[in-house]
Amino acid sequence: MNLTGKQLIGFQKKAAGHRNFQGIQAASGEALPQVFVEATADEANEALTKASSAFKVYRNLSDADRANFLNAIAEEILAIGDVLIQTACAESGLPEARITGERGRTIGQIQAFANFISNPSWKREIMDEAMPERKPLPKPKLVQKQIPLGPTVVFGASNFPLAFSVAGGDTLSALAAGCPVVFKAHPAHPNTCDLVGQAIQRGAQKTGMPDGTFSLVHAQGHEIGGYLVTHPLTKAVAFTGSYRGGKALFDLAVRREVPIPVYAEMGSINPVYLFSDRLATQGEALADAFSQSICLGVGQFCTNPGLIVILDKDREFLTSLAAKLDQMPLGTFLTAGIKQSFEHGFNTLNHHPATQRLTASENAAPSLFSTSVREALANPEVLEEVFGPCTVAVVCQDLAEMIAFTEQLPGQLTATIQAEPSDLAHLDVLIDEVSQKVGRILLNGFPTGVEVSPAMVHGGPFPSTSDARTTSVGTEAIYRFTRPVCWQNF
Ligand code: NAP
């Protein structure tokens, strides 16, 4: 049995480097047996050189050929069977039901892109008929079509080892668009990445894709990621993860001699606005559902509701919610680093003079803090994302203060309004203000589920993402990796 985890460079496997690491079981902290060799710059260069050659062929394949490749990826992933589920569970600490569900989401997402490109309308062709008789000048025939950008580097997140990883939405939308992908594997789940990467490799071989259409490199630390982003053959970057990582890669990309787009999804605190009539009718059920949403996946969701915005007269609800959270277990974090940063975030809020803890535990646990608008605006650190089950409630004196607070909020992926029609009658100005801050507004739901469908926007103004004009979930994600070309007089 070969226990060396290698780079997948097109159809080859390589491991010329000298630095090794192993996957870690999230629950026990023990190392998994396979030893991964970190990629060298030469290997990363080879992956991009192959991707660039493959692009010449791949971009000219028919949509049907590319759809066939995508469907083969889905089949190969399913064919891995239970080993994939067990490996992803071990590396992430997420329960089997969640990972099995995530595999279903991943497969559905791949098939959605395959179906999407099977309809030629995806290229959004726009035609202006010629008007040869037009005076004073004739009008030429113009046809606009989308073409792929080129080799794309993708960074997956730690919190979705399948759906936002090797065969996640970023990789699949780039491949569907006609862009070869070089994937930087997340060091928190290298074994899972390796299994899925090999499935894509097999899918590419079986369907006759050019060598270099897909590569995967392993590394712990930032060097190789930075190398890939600054490489002249890279034409676009997609990233899901921390603000620090996304912003660092964005800065590298804009400083290049030839800048390239970076689509970084960096998470947010996802405000939930709660209103009186809704609380009067749904209070107890809402506290229950809210506590479940805060603790889902140990709170390790970029759409986790980390901020409640509530009127002072409704603050009683916070007591019920805190009581529910006190009963919730903490669970296993994805990595020791994420656990540590959750503890750090909790301690910062717990000892901050601007916040009051409403939950009982003095140690890091599912928790709720409260603060006022004045304190929150004077101490912006209390509104920083704490990745895990931790929420801060900002208590507003009246609707005017709520609107003023919203105007000061940084960009968010989502905002939720919990309101009855009688509440909504007064909320036009607030909702208009909220729409300026987010990519998705929900009414009477919870932001943690992100539907994969054409109308979805999983994005939002900076700093939730680096480009508010796009989405990283749903079929519209493909247009991050295309650009329009106008054919005149052809
Ligand atoms: P991360 O630390 O940003 O890492 C994501 C990927 O980017 C990894 O492959 C990482 O590789 C690479 N990377 C990060 N910074 C880099 C840099 N400066 N240069 C080159 N490569 C870089 O995200 P994470 O590991 O998923 O989670 C850490 C934190 O991110 C969490 O605590 C949470 O706050 C946030 N998060 C946000 C989301 C979201 O949906 N937006 C999802 C998950 C996590 P190396 O580690 O090898 O450098």
Give 183-198 pLDDT, tens digit per residue: 999 999 999 999 999 9
Q: Does the annotation mark 265 as catalytic?
A: yes
Buried b (16+ CB within 10 A) or exposed e, 31-63: ebebebbbbbeebbbbbbbbbbbbbeebbebeb
Distance 275 CA to ligand 1 centre (A): 35
First to last CA, the chain: 57
Distance 299 CA to ligand 1 centre (A): 16
**Is pLDDT of 1 > 90?**
no
Q: Name residue 402's amino acid.
A: M
| Domains of the chain, start order | 2-266+467-488 (3.40.605.10), 271-443 (3.40.309.10)
Q: Does the annotation mark 302 as catalytic?
A: yes
ω before 454 within 30° of 0 (cis)? Answer: no
Average per-residue pLDDT in the chain?
Answer: 97
Mean pLDDT, residues 43-72 taken together: 98
At 14, which helix (H) or strand (E)? Answer: strand 12-14
Q: Model's pTM, two decimal places?
A: 0.96
Atom index in ligand 1 nearest the CA of residue 187 equals 47
Task: Classify 69 as helix, strand or coil.
Answer: helix
Return d(Cα 28, Cα 30) in angstroms, integer.
5
Contact at 8 Å (CB) between 435 and 412? no
- The half-sphere exposure of 95 on its side-chain side, counting CA atoms within 13 A, is 6
**Is pLDDT of 125 > 70?**
yes
Write down the pLDDT at residue 251.
Answer: 98
Distance 219 CA to ligand 1 centre (A): 13
- The half-sphere exposure of 37 on its side-chain side, counting CA atoms within 13 A, is 18
Q: Which two tokens stand for residue 248?
A: 């660092």
**Is pLDDT of 2 > 70?**
no
Question: Taking the CB of residue 130, how many other CB atoms lie within 10 A of it?
Answer: 14
Distance 388 CA to ligand 1 centre (A): 15
Give 139-184 pLDDT, tens digit per residue: 999 999 999 999 999 999 999 999 999 999 999 999 999 999 999 9
Ligand 1 pocket mutation, candidates 24, 102, 158, 334, criterion most atoms within 8 A of CB: 158
Residue 301 Ramachandran class (φ > 0 left, ψ -120 to 50 alpha, else beta): beta
Residue among 447, 382, 434, 369 nearest 405 (CA) = 434
Choose the catalytic residue: 89, 179, 295, 302: 302
Pocket (CB within 6 angstroms of ligand 1): 155, 157-159, 184, 186-188, 219-222, 225-226, 240-242, 245, 248-249, 265-267, 302, 338, 341, 385, 387
Give 231-276 pLDDT, tens digit per residue: 999 999 999 999 999 999 999 999 999 999 999 999 899 999 999 9
Q: Which residue has the tokens 């919203």?
A: 406
